[in-house]
Amino acid sequence: MTNTMQAVVIYGREDYRLEQLPIPVPGPGEALVKVQAVGICASDLKCYHGAHMYWGDGPVPPNVDLQVTPGHEFVGEIVAIDDQGRERWGVDAGDRVVSEQIVPCWKCRYCQRGQYWMCAPHRIYGFRRVVNGAMAEYMIYPADAIVHKVSKDIPAAHAAFAEPLSCALHAVERAQISFGDVVVVAGCGPIGLGMIAGARAKSPAHVIALDLAPAKLDLARACGADIVVNITEENAEQIVRDLTDGYGADVYLEATGHPSAVSQGLNLLRKLGRYVEYGIFANEVSVDWSIISDVKELDVLGAHLGPHCWPTAIKMIESGTLPMDRICTHQLPLNEFQKGLDLVGSGSESVKVSLLPPSSAPE
């Protein structure tokens, strides 16, 4: 093994560079992992383009460090680990592993209460230099990380999908879906498709998928939607009301990050309905709050990361529950990271784009 590796490094808004860096050295209780695949998330794209929530207005970026390596949805093989790491995680060199996207401190109020996904320091891979991400040949899993084994029998890009799927399943759990519910999922990207599969597993009356792209709506059916609506051609609100005797949907899951989807959800829901927001917005979004309060008395819930859902997500992927070959549409070499970002940005050309480091890249 050489002493250097390829890695993507963030220098600023729309200034990501492929560089040659030293291979990191694991400390006590840590693992050195050879990255096999890293997915490009919509949040990666929004960070790249300078979304306010990542960069803010001041000289010091509030949610992303300069000269950090991005990438928070990944899988890899352990190449070096000590006895402390082996005992903590129950893994060994040669194992294929994923790590949850947040590395908790285990000391703050949230961690002490078991709410580790809201950890106050909030060290998420690929946004802070203390937890460099996976757009590199090698990365470190810190001693405080949460690590899960993954089967070696599935493609690396599929295994890396455990991160977005766990996020989607957490949003579904927040929605408290019941038998007989009419559930609407806005957006049929990676998170939305995971929401559809998770919602279907709860056995509601209907899972309705909304999107602009016919191909993605077709994929939504394969993931469990029994009704699909192209919102450029059909009136989603009218379809939902016709299906529910005029009342509206019981649950609305938002996975687009587009401002128009917020008001759409508030209008689609029945009185006392449940709205779950997972999308990340480039800018602030305004709505008529009277719909939430006086008009409908809605439960409006946020969802963040994928706590406690990783084992289920991994099992779903390993069992073939999802049409993973159709979801993981593009795998590119690491040095084509810019092409990968552009593919995600185009919206209609891809579903899940992954980068493969040199030894994993297709011939």
- Per residue in 50-67, pLDDT (tens digit) is 888 888 765 445 788 999
Single-letter residue type at 152: K
| Residue whose tokens read 């939902």 | 240
Q: What is the pTM of this model?
A: 0.94
Taking each helix axis from N to C end, the angle separating 259-268 and 236-243, rounded to the nearest 10 degrees, works out to 20
3-state secondary structure of 153: coil
Written as six digits, the tokens of 267 are: 């209008």
- Strand-pairing partners, residue 301, are 276
Q: Per-residue pLDDT for 136 more than 60?
A: yes
For tokens 């995680």, name the residue. Answer: 89
pLDDT confidence band for 284 (50 / 70 / 90): confident
**pLDDT of amino acid 7:** 97
- Quote the tokens at residue 164: 């977005």
CB 117 within 8 A of CB 127: no
| Average pLDDT of the segment spanning 4-32 | 96
For the chain, give the mean pLDDT: 94
Which of these, 189, 234, 190, 188, lies nearest to 207 by C-alpha position? 188
Which tokens in the block code for residue 210? 């909304």
What does the alpha-carbon distance between residue 149 and residue 133 come to, in Å, rounded to a whole number? Answer: 18
In this predicted structure, what is the pLDDT of residue 274? 98
